[in-house]
Structure 1
Amino acid sequence: MKGKNRFKFSLSAAAIITILSSSIALPTSTYAADEKAENFSLTIMHMNDTHAHVEPLPKMITAIEEVRAQNPNALLLNAGDVFSGTLYFNKFQGQADLALLNMMNIDAMTFGNHEFDLGSSENGHQSLSAFIEKANFPFISSNVDFSGDPFVGNKVSNTFAENAQDSNVYDGIVKEVDGEKIGIFGLTTEETLETSSPVNAQITNYAAEAERAVKAFEDMGIDKVVALTHIGYDSNPAVGNDLMLAEQVDGIDVIVGGHSHTKLEQPTIVDTDENGAPKDPTVVVQGYQYAQNLGELHVAFNGEGQVVHSEGHLIDVESKTADSEASQVLASYKAEVDEMSNQETGAVAQKPLTNPRLSDSDVSVRANETALGNLITDAMLAKAQEKMPEVSIAMQNGGGIRAAIDQGPITVGEVITVLPFGNDPAVVELSGDEIKQILEYSVRLAPEESGGFMQVSGMKFSYDSTKEAGSRIVSMQVKNGDTYSYIQPDQTYLVTTNNFTAKGGDGYDVFANAYAEGRVQDLGEIDWEQFRDYMVEDLNGVVDPVIEGRITDLLGENPEPSNPVEPEEPSDENPDPNSNDEDPNGDGDNKDDQQKPQEEPKDDDQGNDTNDDDNDDQDKNGVTPPPNSGNKGGNNSNNVSDGNFVKVADDNDNVVKGKQLPNTATNMFMYMLTGAVLLAAGAVMYLFKRKKAKA
């Protein structure tokens, strides 16, 4: 029997050296091993996070058929999140997807968090129940308990079934391939409790349930175990992810994942536990999103059920020819969706909302504040605050805004065309200093275009594009009600952005680091739906955004002093509770503010090509919840500093234009004054003595 505690006994020294060396030296994540006759080979096809992108599925079916032509016994696993994302779901609530999924001969599907999206509106999972009932494949999740749900509860068998039936829910199932039994169990992220509406369904700890599943299969004599998960590749360590699962739970050979939309071109091999000790290898795969890829994994097991070889890749679905029968099935659904896309949302644009580019305009959504950018970020902020009131800032990369909106009634199709990627909005916990680094990166190419240029809401900032990249930000302020206060470098703020950016898209290392440290939380929404609902519900259908001076390029009008002033500590004497550190003019320019020199931002492979940074390759990963910490306000003393800028107040607590003299200048003045007094006194004494001598 295999296991991490038995690793050194179950493999020869040569095999250990072979495995460890290949994991270090081979970027293909392929375990070299002598292909012995007794080794058992298994092919797994996998897909995840299709999010109601139904139209690519006829091509997906062609890709599946081509793999089966070479490997007739290949398994096909779906890692969840079929629900939510396009009008196909709004109209058919999963049934359009299912009509095509039923043509694929899927072996098992687990539940994604979005499968629970309709729970609260239906007082239970009626639509999910209908989806399960009509599926010609079984569902598995060992940590979801549907027993309290009136719709799904009667379809559940909390067992690890050797003869699983379609349209039923199990903890796990057993598949027999070429005489070998494979145990497959499912896991669903505990984030579902926060990001969706499980209502009567209960979701328990992933690791404990995985341990239970592995033991159940071992008790059945099964030593080849696959986890079909929707917990994210490396997302949210507070509730677990695939890498943690591979390290913490012994006995899992393959993890087929979803949730983080991770694009793993090749498998990841985990061969050490959480303490760094060697363990039996676990192969981890995930296939990106939106039915763009079909994953294909080949894995070989030795006689003791240990992985000795793995090789995998992603098949580009778009390159395939659509299956003709599947295309006919799709056609009936597509006609209704096309009609629905022309339906009016109930919102009316009072003027054209352009999406300008420098190729045909003096301004660009990728280089300047725009009215449409303000509208989108306002929607992001308002809808994020409905779930997390502490959120104070919204940021949207200009490259993610793809189209304009015509004057007049706004259609559903227009909304989706503006934000076509179906990004999940997220909330990121950031310090003021990190926000500054993000803004520096945002404007680093200005006045040229960058797909990573940030449109913002809940804040305003000024920068100087004549300065060197990395030292351009002059002022940053966050909105508090109807006023603004300076962003403090060591203070924590909650910022909402799209999931692509939150994971480090467009080369944002700061966001990537925050994600890696577990400071990102998925809101469980879809961006275009947020946008539509904001215009209809929050604006009462009257859509008329304007440019407000949220982003100001000073263009060299505010040259920095050659010797920046080091801010003094705020005075604690006679503090005035009514004083504040807001911009007195409300224009966000802060032309008298002084900024410390900043380091040049670090570019990575994504940051080098930014003139057309689209969201087309969103292949970073993961989501993690931050603690409930938001903007706690600024410093209100009379003479204050935010760490980057100096504000000087007069006796009436009004901000005085002009700069404090450096201490060196003050001291020099005192020395000169003292010297002059002494010189004058010496001259008087000299004249007095001469007069007395003559007398």
Structure 2
Amino acid sequence: MNKRKMYSATALTAVTAVMVGVTGVAAEETIFTDVPASHPHVEGISALTAAGILNGFGDGTFKPDASVTREQAAKMIAGAFQLKPSETVQPNFTDITVENHYYAAIAALYATGVEKGYEDNTFRPKENLTHGEVKQVVEKISVLYPIDADALFAAANVTFDQSKSVTRGELASILVTALNLIEEEQNKYYNLSVMHVNDTHANVEKLPKLMTAVKEQREKTPDALLLHAGDVFSGTLYFNEFVGQADVPFLNAMKFDAMVFGNHEFDLGSSPEGHKALADFVKAAKFPLLTANVDFSKDSLFTGLFTDLISSEPENGKIYSGIIKEVNGEKVGIFGLTTAETADIASPGSIVFEDYIEEAKKAVKAFEDKGVNKIIALTHLGFDDNAAYDNDQMLAKSVPGIDIVVGGHTHTQLDEPFVVDTNTVGEKKDATLIVQAYQYADFLGTLDVSFDENGVVVKHKGQLIKVADFAEDAEGLKLLAPFKEKVDVVANTEIGVKLTAELVNPRDNESIGAPSVRNSETALGNIITDGMLAKAKTYTKKNVIMAFQNGGGIRAAIPAGEVTTGNVMTVLPFGNTLALVDITAAELKETFEHALKEAPKESGGFLHISGAKLTYDSSKEVGSRIVSLQYYDDATKAYVDIKDGETYTIATNAFTAKGGDGFAALGKVYEAGKVTDLGLSDWENLKEQLLSLKEISYEPQGRIVDVAVKPEVTEETKETTK
């Protein structure tokens, strides 16, 4: 598919905005007595002087042939390229203080990475700047629009000599020539800047710093889009207490342009209130929410909020398939996609998820029919998630016309844009850029893209900016205060249990088979499931033989010391309830085979158990890994095998009971009406279990054993086996 031809863009990025005021200055306008019209660098000196970047000396001279010191050069470079110091990223040079006349310029170069000084933490402000050092500076500044350094010096009428000191006149010519070359390059293309975050998961206390990061980026690129790739909901006490209403004031204050729904936005669908919290979040948003492949029409809570259309005039607090934004005089299309896996890993209720490829193709065509040829897919599909469902790379390969994919869901840290330039059969295609900014508001992603007149990506630059490096925004702290006050009270309330050691929650291991809550038994998992089993037995006359908990739902450790309500709620933050499931032996074994399908790799569906013992072999074929599955029989006071043909009652969280994490067997059991949701809070069950324990075990108890994993041989074990 070829892009439709559009008019050429003329907008310039901030790095060349200064040229608006310096181009076309005549040499005769120089006011310095020692810079005649015949001087080889008169044009550069005149241009920068007219722009207010250069000053002469008190005697009316400029001294164009004098060497430039490093501090003088810092002022000229920072002024020419409009580099600003940062409030948070300050230089720590031992030979420069804030009282120095050139400190602000030096700080600006330091903050933007142009100048980091010497290894001994000095800047050496009085030393002369060399041609070689100037070349390095220009290369760093012009990385988005590379300039051939040799051509630059030649065009500036400067003979390059690596170690020779640069003169004041030479530097003026070099800077003006560089800006002119960049401007010429920029004028060929339309330039678009995007800021993005994803999977912030109610990390509200980080948002004041994110506000500062966004503000500083907007100073550099005022017209940059700001996009959220989903999963604002679930993850901290701020969500448990305020169900999204603590997050939305910050998103509004930062003036997000759009957000896509993540899977966790649908976590509360099985609650008595259903998706009321999500509907309230949408209504409170001062930006549109997007998703082209989610149908809200069967949920009355979204009546009047949802339209399956692309809008050129979107209203805040409404849901659209996509929107068209005018940025720097040209139209940019943005549409949303949410993973269909949400049906397995959340509680969407009557909300329907449609094929992402087909809906993406429809969205692209709708944009192109409106003459839009710069298209962004704002997705919560995952960078490299299960292709059986959906992921960003498959989207980029399968749907022509998408220029940028701003993604989330897999919490992937893409330090620079990932380029897809082939289709599903390996044929060359126009480049599609994929970006993702990790998680929890740890980074603000930035992306600068140049498009040719046909809307094809020709140049790009992207990076992740560490949010922790910024100061907290004053307005953000005011927004945070009332929410934090309530959360702190809840979080700091001690429950009456003291741990002598941490109840660990290892996860995200790089080593296959290394202990993780997603591939191994853990003490915390045992305590959680023990509490589930004990509670379930008090609510039914049925014989509940075991309880299990998905490892992906155990989100944090509990540190040593007095345990607080906040500790407990952070372990199980999704508001799940306890459910009873009547299940056959075959269905139960199928469930555990699914839980073990990734072993020894991690899987969110790995099951922790109570009242049972599981032995398996991860070296065997998927689907045939169980060696034995037993439960503790109260009558015989011994572990007995699960028997084929029998039906059992087990306890688990409602999410898993309904088939969450891809448990197809459980999903069928739920559809058959064999699940009873007891409505009992998972974190409250954990709290009660901790309070009931006279002694806490901090080690696994051999409930889950992989016979393919050989125990580590130590000197101690050698002694005991002699």
TM-score normalized by the length of structure 1: 0.57
1:191 pairs, out of 341, 345, 360, with 341
Supply the distance in 2 between the matched residues of 1:139 and 1:588 (Cα, whole angstroms).
43
Letter of the aligned partner of 2:384 in structure 1? D
Residues 262 and 286, structure 1, Cα contact 8 Å, conserved in 2: yes
Q: Which runs of 5+ in 2 are unaligned?
A: 6-142, 148-181, 505-514, 537-544, 577-590, 617-625, 643-660, 668-679, 714-722
> Is structure 2 residue 489 aligned with structure 1 residue 333?
no
**Pairwise CA distance, 1:344:** 6.5
366-375 vs 173-182, which moves further = 366-375
Supply the distance in 2 between the matched residues of 1:402 and 1:371 (Cα, whole angstroms).
11
Corresponding residue for residue 467 of structure 1: none
Tell me how many residue pairs correspond in the alignment.
463
Residues 296 and 314, structure 1, Cα contact 8 Å, conserved in 2: yes
The 5 Å alignment of 1:620-631 reads: none
**RMSD over aligned Cα, in angstroms?**
5.0
Residues 211 and 249, structure 1, Cα contact 8 Å, conserved in 2: yes
**Pairwise CA distance, 1:151:** 2.2
Corresponding residue for residue 292 of structure 2: 142
1:286 pairs, out of 418, 426, 436, with 436
The 5 Å alignment of 1:45-60 reads: 45-60=195-210
Corresponding residue for residue 449 of structure 1: none
Letter of the aligned partner of 2:412 in structure 1? T
Corresponding residue for residue 2 of structure 1: 2
Supply the distance in 1 between the matched residues of 2:355 and 2:328 (Cα, whole angstroms).
34
**Pairwise CA distance, 1:237:** 1.6
Letter of the aligned partner of 1:93 in structure 2? V
305-314 vs 123-132, which moves further = 123-132
**Pairwise CA distance, 1:400:** 5.9
Supply the distance in 2 between the matched residues of 1:418 and 1:93 (Cα, whole angstroms).
17
Corresponding residue for residue 316 of structure 1: 466
Supply the distance in 2 between the matched residues of 1:91 and 1:168 (Cα, whole angstroms).
24
Residues 3 and 373, structure 2, Cα contact 8 Å, conserved in 1: no
Q: Which one scores higher on RCO, CA 8 angstroms, separation ≥ 6?
A: 1
2:686 pairs, out of 535, 553, 568, with 535
Residues 353 and 371, structure 1, Cα contact 8 Å, conserved in 2: no
SS in structure 2 of the partner of residue 240 of structure 1: coil
Change (3 A) 1:532 1:211: same
**Pairwise CA distance, 1:189:** 1.2
1:48-97 CA-partner distances (Å, limit 9, x unpaired): 11111101101001000111111010000011111111111121121111
Corresponding residue for residue 413 of structure 1: 566
Supply the distance in 2 between the matched residues of 1:588 and 1:52 (Cα, whole angstroms).
33
SS in structure 1 of the partner of residue 205 of structure 2: coil
Percent of pairs identical after alignment? 43
Corresponding residue for residue 375 of structure 1: 527
Corresponding residue for residue 182 of structure 1: 332
Residues 237 and 491, structure 2, Cα contact 8 Å, conserved in 1: yes
Residues 525 and 549, structure 2, Cα contact 8 Å, conserved in 1: no
Corresponding residue for residue 126 of structure 2: none
1:110 pairs, out of 260, 266, 276, with 260
> Is structure 2 residue 507 aligned with structure 1 residue 354?
no
> Is structure 2 residue 559 aligned with structure 1 residue 403?
yes
Change (3 A) 1:522 1:261: farther
Residues 195 and 444, structure 2, Cα contact 8 Å, conserved in 1: yes
Corresponding residue for residue 304 of structure 2: 154
Supply the distance in 2 between the matched residues of 1:549 and 1:147 (Cα, whole angstroms).
49
SS in structure 2 of the partner of residue 167 of structure 1: coil
Change (3 A) 1:50 1:253: same
Corresponding residue for residue 85 of structure 1: 235
**Pairwise CA distance, 1:132:** 1.6
> Is structure 2 residue 244 aligned with structure 1 residue 94?
yes
SS in structure 2 of the partner of residue 314 of structure 1: strand
1:232 pairs, out of 382, 401, 411, with 382
Supply the distance in 2 between the matched residues of 1:129 and 1:396 (Cα, whole angstroms).
26
Residues 340 and 412, structure 1, Cα contact 8 Å, conserved in 2: yes
The 5 Å alignment of 1:524-563 reads: 532-535=683-686, 539=689, 542-544=692-694, 547=697, 550-551=700-701
SS in structure 2 of the partner of residue 102 of structure 1: helix
Letter of the aligned partner of 1:277 in structure 2? E
Residues 393 and 459, structure 1, Cα contact 8 Å, conserved in 2: no
**Pairwise CA distance, 1:476:** 8.6
**Pairwise CA distance, 1:369:** 9.0
Letter of the aligned partner of 1:355 in structure 2? E
Letter of the aligned partner of 1:535 in structure 2? L
Change (3 A) 1:170 1:92: same
Supply the distance in 1 between the matched residues of 2:282 and 2:464 (Cα, whole angstroms).
27
Supply the distance in 2 between the matched residues of 1:250 and 1:438 (Cα, whole angstroms).
34
Letter of the aligned partner of 1:404 in structure 2? A
Letter of the aligned partner of 1:375 in structure 2? I
**Pairwise CA distance, 1:140:** 1.2
> Is structure 2 residue 422 aligned with structure 1 residue 272?
yes
Supply the distance in 2 between the matched residues of 1:238 and 1:81 (Cα, whole angstroms).
21
**Pairwise CA distance, 1:178:** 1.2
232-241 vs 210-219, which moves further = 232-241
**Pairwise CA distance, 1:129:** 1.9
SS in structure 2 of the partner of residue 151 of structure 1: helix
SS in structure 2 of the partner of residue 158 of structure 1: coil
**Pairwise CA distance, 1:38:** 2.2
43-52 vs 201-210, which moves further = 201-210
Letter of the aligned partner of 1:411 in structure 2? T
Supply the distance in 1 between the matched residues of 2:525 and 2:477 (Cα, whole angstroms).
37
**Pairwise CA distance, 1:486:** 11
Change (3 A) 1:283 1:412: same
